[in-house]
Structure 1
Amino acid sequence: MTMAPERTAVRVELLIDQRWFAVCELTDLTPGRGVAALLPDGTQVAVFLDRSGRAYAIANRDPFTGAYVLSRGLLGSSGGRPFAASPLLKQRFDLETGRCLDDETVAVQAYVTRTRDRTARVA
């Protein structure tokens, strides 16, 4: 009997209520761009992969407009801090803290992320 080959997939997980929740495969992300993901409670998150391969996640709702668009924002860095700039009004949100770099009184939820290997049998 021959065994099916194995492939290793890397998934992106968020820490939510002290539990890890898988949101997508790492291959679903394009460096420098974001995607929107839906959490079990209906919350939308914006998941990003920077050009060095690190994943980040923040709330997808732009607090200045109320639109769910932050996943479509552009990635950059300011003072060594990674950010996503809203595609609408261009406010920049720190990807590690969620703090708005252009208005310190505003912030979005930031999530702790990790990437984790999992092995799957290929039929």
Structure 2
Amino acid sequence: MDWIDMGGTKVLLLPVKGPQITTEADGNDVIGEAFSVEAELIAIPVERLGSSFLRLETRLAGTIFQKFVNYHLRCAIIGDIAPLLEGSKALRDFVRETNKGRSIWFVDDLDGLRAKLAREKA
């Protein structure tokens, strides 16, 4: 599994191609991968999220994100989720609120993640 250093933060970067995260067990697998490389933050391409992941009524995102937080792992979802945001006020609110914190972020690309991490360290 690949990891990169982003300004002193060890980031597990999941590849775009790979199994989708569609169940709580899939989230557990990602946690295991993060621990195996001693990552502090997991960067997950939006393409790796199952179709129901960001449908908040399924509670899948909330359950998995909560596990990440419980294990002191931060997470960034990388990619364009604009079409999903257009159809869900709840998701728009969720993304806005999580992006204010330090645990779960939604960013357009790796440069956006680097910028958020740099602002945090400044």
TM over 0.5: no
Structure having the higher helix fraction is: 2
Structure having the higher strand fraction is: 1
Larger-Rg structure: 1
